[in-house]
């Protein structure tokens, strides 16, 4: 019997091929060892997916989970997660978003959903206070993500309903299509494309249930303490409420670590036009917050004039400004705002989409593609007017260029060839977010070893960017990176928001995080237990990657980051050479107890983490 509080205690399994449902109880063992979110999903998918399957085949599964603290008063703790074998990386992928979907799913009676098989026709899943139903979605197929949500709210006749929907890009199986909950995106890794491949257009949830916690007095004391921490921490009480994540434009550019023109440079002389300060002045109307979060980092924006007048958006975030702005070589914040909204609406990851356009711009400027391949467009850096048309082409796979880039930068470079791999800015098939590898060696190691490749949430740039640790050296960066991995994966298993990392960490698993689990669930984890759990989950995910063929050779950076030093600015000359990366990898694997030659976790380390079955399984890959 499942005994922990906080959780609802069951997951809904939906067999789309047969149109059947099955309630599955959680087990204490699964919750204790893998907590929830990314950890729980990694374990489930490791056990249920055969290695080597096509992510778009019926054999793949899509898991959606709310974390154990979702729906409680733990601040910044009500994120929704999606999990699958990614069509971009061909390995386990996790993505999460804020908003209000996760609490509603739990109030509707479930911790999560596992989709398996494939529906013969487009459907949406409606869970109405514990009652699941698959409904015909043919009338929604082809609709954009926001329109789909609006139509469903109308159809279901209730504003209380929370919806997660895909846009046209996922229906066209654009490899970086996401899932959209309100204005929040489960964007990265192509999990929306997996949902589209299964003919699931949306999930709608409504519930009137509640979440039990073990001891209200203890919880109240914890809430008081944690809210005081949010208030006392400058990033969560001042910086993010005032500017949101776009504050990072000036922060990164002033250090010379702001990707510009497909990372050809890392100092953008005209970045001010994209800054959080200018954005606030020009388009921000008010703040928006996720469930039970005092931060309000979301920025509700309206473009008031010009070619994009009337575009309304909850954002852009820093990453969108990086991808659709500086990477594409322009500083028009209104274009970025419109582009991000349009990209969400078409249903794609804005980082991948913007970086794909920047990659194509560099290919065009170098003569590797011409107007013949771009349907007549002079696709040069600075052509802000071409960004929305390019988004549409990718989402609908229109023309040679749209279809090519819909495969993502990695596959596009493989097709174009001619040396374009040098500046295809991805690792493991996922493009890099807007944080420098060259200017932050520990973060570079996080990118290289990250199971998701170019994600900025496997490692984190914050420690080196803010000077908590020295960024000009590789000394000590192996352990530094591994500890941040652990903080990230534990918070991704609870599913806590990384924007509050200064409270949760920021450099390792802390009592603050572990106590949130204990207070809500009734577990009795020590700090050491929390750290070990994080390491167990990290190794479980690594084992998934090993099974899919990933080895040390894949823990790498693109040649541009390893051979081309930063050209100008405060970080001029910084680069992560092959030798530097090799040394950091040696130290990282040694700290982790992974084989130095292959990067496969050793049998001893897996057993010490309680992963005996995984240790056995790994033997065949050694």
Where do contacts with ligand SF4 occur on this chain (CB under 6 A)?
76, 98, 289-290, 293, 295-298, 497, 499-500
What token pair was written down for 258?
């702001």
Residue 376: other Cβ atoms inside 10 A: 10
Report which of 35, 7, 28, 6 is spatially closest to residue 529, judged by C-alpha positions: 35
- Please say which residue, 123 or 503, places its beta carbon nearer to ligand SF4: 503
Given the complex with ligand SF4, which of 303 and 503 has the nearer CB atom?
A: 503
Shortest reach from residue 399's CB to ligand SF4, in Å:
36
Is the Cβ–Cβ distance between 34 and 534 less than 8 Å? no
Cα separation of 274 and 327, whole Å? Answer: 12
Nearer to ligand SF4, 39 or 298 (CB): 298
The DSSP call for residue 83 is E
Closest contact distance (angstroms) between CB of 316 and ligand SF4 is 13
Q: How far is the CB of 464 from ligand SF4 (least distance, A)?
A: 21
CB of 79 to ligand SF4, least distance (A): 7
- For residues 30 and 102, which CB has a smaller minimum distance to ligand SF4 in the complex? 102
CB of 426 to ligand SF4, least distance (A): 25
Cβ proximity to ligand SF4, 315 vs 450, nearer residue: 315
Question: Which residue, 297 or 571, has its beta carbon nearer to ligand SF4?
Answer: 297
Tokens 């990477």, located at residue? 327
Nearer to ligand SF4, 82 or 377 (CB): 82
Q: Contact at 8 Å (CB) between 192 and 177?
A: yes
Q: H/E element holding 615?
A: helix 612-618
By C-beta, is 247 or 386 nearer to ligand SF4?
A: 247
Alpha-carbon distance of 484 to 39, in angstroms, equals 16
Taking the complex as a whole, the smallest distance from the CB of residue 489 to ligand SF4 amounts, in Å, to 17
Closer residue to ligand SF4, CB minimum distance, 168 or 298:
298
Whose Cβ is closer to ligand SF4: residue 38's or residue 386's? 38
Quote the distance between the C-alpha of residue 3 and its chain's center.
Answer: 31
SS (H, E, C) 358-414: HHHHHHHHCCCCCCCCCCCCCCCCCCHHHHHHHHHHHHHCCHHHHHHHCCCHHHHHH
- As measured in angstroms, the least distance from the Cβ of 230 to ligand SF4 is 9
Compute the distance between CA of residue 112 and CA of residue 205 in angstroms, rounded to an integer.
11
Pairing mode, strands 80-85 and 61-66? antiparallel
**Shortest separation between residue 80's beta carbon and ligand SF4, angstroms:** 11
Q: Which is nearer to ligand SF4, 233 or 539 (CB)?
A: 233
Query: How crowded is the C-beta side of 139, counted as CA atoms within 13 Å?
Result: 6
Q: What are the residues whose beta carbons fall under 8 Å from the beta carbon of 475, sequence distance 6 or more? A: none
Contact 145, 167 (CB under 8 A): yes
Full DSSP string of 509-533:
--HHHHHHHHHHH-----HHHHHHH
Burial string for 190-228 (b: 16+ CB within 10 Å, else e) reads bbbbbbbbbbbbbbbbbbeeebebeeeeebeebbeebee
User: In the 8-state DSSP scheme, what is residue 261?
Assistant: T
Report in angstroms how near the CB of residue 289 gets to ligand SF4 at its nearest: 4
Identity of the residue, 230 or 308, whose beta carbon is nearer to ligand SF4 in the bound complex: 230
User: Least distance from C-beta 76 to ligand SF4, angstroms?
Assistant: 4
Q: How far is the CB of 77 from ligand SF4 (least distance, A)?
A: 8
DSSP string, 165-206: E--HHHHTT-TTB-EEETTEEE-GGGHHHHHHHTTEEEEEEE
Q: How far is the CB of 187 from ligand SF4 (least distance, A)?
A: 13
Q: How far apart are CA 167 and CA 148, in angstroms?
A: 8
In the bound state with ligand SF4, the residue whose beta carbon lies nearer, of 103 and 439, is 103
Closer of 163 and 614 to ligand SF4 (Cβ): 163
Report the nearest approach of ligand SF4 to the CB of residue 106 (Å). Answer: 16
Q: Are 201 and 123 in contact (CB under 8 A)?
A: yes
Query: At residue 578, what are phi and psi to the nearest 5 degrees?
Result: -55, -40
Q: How far is the CB of 414 from ligand SF4 (least distance, A)?
A: 35
> Computed from CA positions of residues 342, 345, 349, 352, in that sequence, does the dihedral angle turn out positive or negative?
negative
Sheet strands side by side (includes 179-181): 131-136, 123-128, 200-206, 162-165, 179-181, 184-186
Q: Which of 89, 91, 131 is nearest to 108 (CA)?
A: 131
Least separation in angstroms between residue 98's CB and ligand SF4 is 4
Using the minimum distance from each CB to ligand SF4, give the nearer residue, 36 or 569.
36
Could you give the angle at which helices 578-592 and 441-449 cross, rounded to 10 degrees? 70
| C-alpha span between 88 and 430 (Å, rounded) | 6
């Amino acid at each position: 019997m499942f005994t922990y509080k906080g959780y609802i205690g069951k997951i809904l399994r939906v067999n789309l091929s047969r149109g059947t449902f099955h309630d599955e109880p959680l087990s204490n063992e699964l919750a204790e060892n893998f907590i929830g979110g990314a950890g729980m999903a990694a374990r489930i998918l490791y056990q249920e997916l055969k290695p080597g399957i096509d992510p778009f085949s019926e054999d793949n599964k899509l898991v959606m989970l709310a974390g154990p603290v979702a729906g409680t008063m733990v601040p910044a703790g009500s994120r929704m997660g999606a999990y699958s074998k990614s069509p971009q990386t061909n390995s386990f992928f996790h993505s999460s978003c804020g908003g209000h979907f996760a609490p509603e799913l739990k109030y509707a009676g479930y911790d999560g959903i596992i989709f398996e098989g494939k529906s013969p026709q487009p459907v949406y899943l409606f869970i109405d206070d514990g009652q699941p139903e698959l409904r015909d979605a043919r009338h929604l197929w082809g609709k954009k993500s926001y329109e789909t949500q609006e139509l469903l709210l109308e159809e279901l006749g209730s504003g209380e309903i929370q919806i997660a929907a895909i846009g046209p890009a996922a229906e066209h199986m654009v490899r970086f299509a996401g899932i959209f909950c309100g204005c929040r995106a489960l964007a990265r890794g192509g999990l929306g494309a997996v949902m589209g491949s299964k003919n699931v257009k949306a999930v709608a949830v409504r519930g009137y249930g509640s979440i039990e916690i073990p001891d209200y007095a203890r919880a109240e004391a914890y809430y008081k303490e944690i809210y005081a921490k949010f208030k006392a921490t400058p990033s969560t009480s001042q910086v993010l409420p005032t500017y949101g994540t776009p504050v990072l434009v000036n922060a990164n550019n002033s250090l010379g670590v702001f990707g510009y023109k497909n990372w050809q440079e890392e100092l953008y002389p005209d970045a001010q036009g994209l800054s959080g300060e200018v954005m606030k002045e020009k388009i921000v109307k008010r703040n928006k917050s996720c469930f039970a979060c005092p931060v309000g980092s979301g920025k509700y924006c309206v473009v008031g004039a010009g070619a994009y007048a009337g575009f309304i958006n909850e954002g852009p975030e820093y990453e969108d400004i990086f991808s659709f702005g500086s990477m594409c070589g322009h500083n028009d914040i209104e274009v970025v705002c419109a582009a991000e909204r349009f990209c969400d609406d078409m249903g794609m990851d804005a980082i991948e989409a913007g970086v794909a356009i920047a990659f194509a711009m560099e290919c065009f400027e170098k003569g590797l593609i011409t107007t013949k391949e771009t349907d007549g467009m002079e696709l040069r850096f600075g052509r802000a007017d071409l960004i929305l048309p390019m988004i549409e082409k990718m989402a609908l796979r229109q023309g040679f260029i749209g279809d090519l880039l819909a495969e993502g930068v990695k596959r596009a470079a493989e097709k174009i060839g001619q040396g374009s791999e040098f500046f295809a800015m991805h690792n493991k098939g996922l493009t890099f977010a807007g944080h420098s590898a060259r200017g932050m060696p520990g973060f570079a190691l996080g990118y290289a070893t990250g199971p998701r490749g170019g994600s900025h949430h496997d490692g984190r740039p914050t420690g080196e960017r803010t000077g908590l640790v020295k960024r000009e050296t590789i000394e000590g960066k192996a352990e530094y990176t591994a500890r941040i991995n652990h903080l990230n994966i534990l918070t991704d298993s609870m599913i806590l928001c990384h924007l509050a990392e200064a409270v949760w960490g920021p450099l390792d698993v802390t009592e603050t995080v572990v106590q949130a689990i204990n207070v809500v669930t009734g577990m009795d984890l020590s700090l050491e237990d929390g750290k070990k759990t994080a390491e167990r989950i990290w190794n479980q995910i690594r084992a998934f990657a090993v099974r899919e063929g990933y080895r040390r050779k894949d823990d790498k950076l693109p040649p541009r980051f390893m051979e081309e030093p930063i050209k100008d600015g405060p970080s001029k000359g910084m680069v992560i050479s092959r030798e530097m990366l090799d040394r950091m990898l040696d130290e990282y694997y040694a700290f982790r107890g992974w084989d130095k030659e292959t990067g496969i976790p050793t049998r001893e380390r897996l057993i010490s983490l309680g992963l005996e079955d995984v240790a056995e399984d790994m033997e065949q890959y050694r």
